Amino acid sequence: MGIELNLLERDPCIKWDGLNKISEREFFLEKAMDFSRHSSKKFIDYFNDTRKNRYGYEGVLPAEFSHEYNRIAKDWQRKIITIEYNEDLIIMVLKRVQMFKTVYTRVEGLPISINNNCKNERTVLLKLIEKNLINKISSNSSEAEKLKDWGYTLSEKIDSYNFYSHIPSNCEKISKNKWRTKKGINRMLKMSNLKWKVLKEETDEIEMISKGFDKWKTTIEGTHKGWHKLSKGILKYPFWRDKNTIYYLITYKDIPVGFCVYIINGKLAHQIINKSIGHTIYEKNSQLTNEVEQKEFEEIKKRMGALIHYITVKDIYERGIVKIRVLFLNILYGMMKIMSL
């Protein structure tokens, strides 16, 4: 059954008449809601649920646009706004884009009407364009067909690198002995020093593996710190009080070798963090006291990705999750540039 919003929850960020006397800056910075605010959760959940019903799971926006993600990362560039029009409430998701000296507001996907009125959705969208309150529209392929019919032209098409995993069928595959043997899972599960857990309390092991991951990215890969804000937020976030986030930690002896974080939204799980010893640098190998441990540790380095996948997918399946979306393969919709109508 879908998410519903009752009349008491239809308190708009801005009314229709207010669109005539507001600047683009005020529209985004003052009227739109931060995703970290609790009041935003019911609207983004409704927005995603409606898009899922219209377009399938591909219609669900990435984790960056969720209430839970923004409580961790404090990402002010993404917001949600509700507009009252014709006894209806129109929900729109916005992103503030800055490219060199060019700054503009982009709308993510087509608007969603609480009354499921597509005519109202289109009317509000055209009004925002007319008043220069939005400058670009980002759409999926189904929405792009509508935009073409409405007189828009394609300015840029970006291939999508979404990764979805259908959990029941994936879990069936990884549960087979042949797959587990090929990936080395069976051997690793027999290692007495290798353990995993879902974290229920604060631990310094997260900070250790996160700093080691940062060091690898900068010194080995020479990568810019685009991920760093989320990584810092993960360390400070009180995950043990949040039922919608799951922190998985895998250790060998006292050495953190795998760390994975999911945000749960209904039957969908967003993977937002996946770090392993294979891409981590820190000085703790001195705890390996004999040749057997050193050999096991080297094997773990090579195969930790498969083990993280096995452990987390199996556990998530038992929690009743149907789909996983992986964050680090970014969602990039085809972008539609506004033309004169």
Place of tokens 């094997």: 299
Place of tokens 């039922």: 243
The pLDDT tens digits of the residues spanning 237-295 come to 999 999 999 999 999 998 999 999 999 988 889 999 998 888 887 665 567 788 999 99
* pLDDT at 101 > cutoff 80: no
Residues 190 and 133 in one domain: no
Spatial distance between the Cα atoms of 271 and 326, rounded to a whole number of angstroms = 5
Do the strands 14-15 and 78-85 form a parallel or antiparallel pair, or are they unpaired? parallel
- The total number of structural domains in the chain stands at 2
pLDDT of residue 212: 84
- CA dihedral of residues 136, 141, 142, 148 (deg, nearest 10): 50
pLDDT exceeds cutoff 90 at 13: yes
Residue 159 lies in a domain: no
100: left (phi over 0), alpha (psi -120 to 50) or beta: left
**Residue 242 is assigned to a structural domain of this protein:** yes
Query: Which of 68-72, 80-84, 102-106, 194-198 has the least mean pLDDT?
Result: 102-106
Q: Is residue 109 part of a domain?
A: yes
Q: What is the pLDDT of the chain when averaged over all its residues?
A: 86
Distance between terminal CA atoms of the chain?
38
Average pLDDT over residues 46-56: 91
Choose the weakest-confidence range: 18-27, 72-81, 317-326.
317-326
Which of these three, 124, 150, 176, is where a domain ends? 150
pLDDT beyond 80 at 163: no
Answer yes or no: is pLDDT of 328 > 70.
no
pLDDT at residue 194, rounded to an integer: 96
128: its two tokens: 């925002």
Quote the DSSP letter at residue 333. Answer: P
Residues 6 or more apart from 87 whose CB is under 8 A from it?
115
Strand 334-337 vs strand 153-156: parallel, antiparallel, or unpaired? Answer: antiparallel
pLDDT in tens, 128-160: 999 999 988 888 888 888 888 888 887 777 665
Same domain, 202 and 125: no
pLDDT at 286: 63
Is residue 45 in a domain? yes
Same domain, 91 and 176: no
Amino acid identity at 287: Q
Residue 46 has pLDDT above 80, yes or no: yes
CA 321/CA 316 separation, integer angstroms: 6
| 217 band by pLDDT with thresholds 50, 70 and 90 | confident
334 pLDDT tier (thresholds 50, 70, 90): very low
pLDDT tier for residue 326 given thresholds of 50, 70 and 90: low
Dihedral (Cα; 249, 63, 60, 260), 10-degree rounding? -10
Across 73-82, 114-123, 263-272, least confident range: 263-272
Asked if the structure places residue 272 within a domain, the reply is yes
Answer for the pair 262, 316: CB distance below 8 angstroms, yes or no: yes
Closest to 112 (Cα-Cα) out of 136, 141, 92, 84: 92
Range of the domain at 283: 164-326
Answer yes or no: is pLDDT of 173 > 80: yes
CA separation for the pair 162, 156 (Å, rounded): 18
Task: Please give the pLDDT value at position 3.
Answer: 64
Indicate whether 341 belongs to any domain. Answer: no
What is the residue whose two structure tokens read 């039957």?
Answer: 267
Buried b (16+ CB within 10 A) or exposed e, 60-74: bbbbbbbbbbbbbbe
> Which of helix, strand or coil describes residue 269?
strand
Residue showing tokens 């985004």: 28
CATH code of 91's domain: 3.40.630
Closest CA to 137 of 108, 111, 94: 108
Which pLDDT does position 232 carry in this prediction?
Answer: 86
Confidence tier at 32 by pLDDT (50, 70, 90): very high
pLDDT value at residue 43: 94
The pLDDT assigned to 215 comes to 83
Per-residue pLDDT tens over the stretch 17-28: 999 999 999 999
Is residue 179 domain-shared with residue 307, that is, in the same domain?
Answer: yes
Residue 336 has pLDDT above 60, yes or no: no
**Parallel, antiparallel or unpaired: strands 153-156 and 136-139:** unpaired
Q: Please report the pLDDT score of residue 139 as a whole number.
A: 87
Closest CA to 19 of 84, 101, 104, 73: 84
Top mean pLDDT of 29-33, 61-65, 216-220, 274-278 is at: 29-33
52 with 85, same domain: the answer is yes
Q: What was the pLDDT predicted at 160?
A: 58
Domain assignment of residue 340, yes or no: no
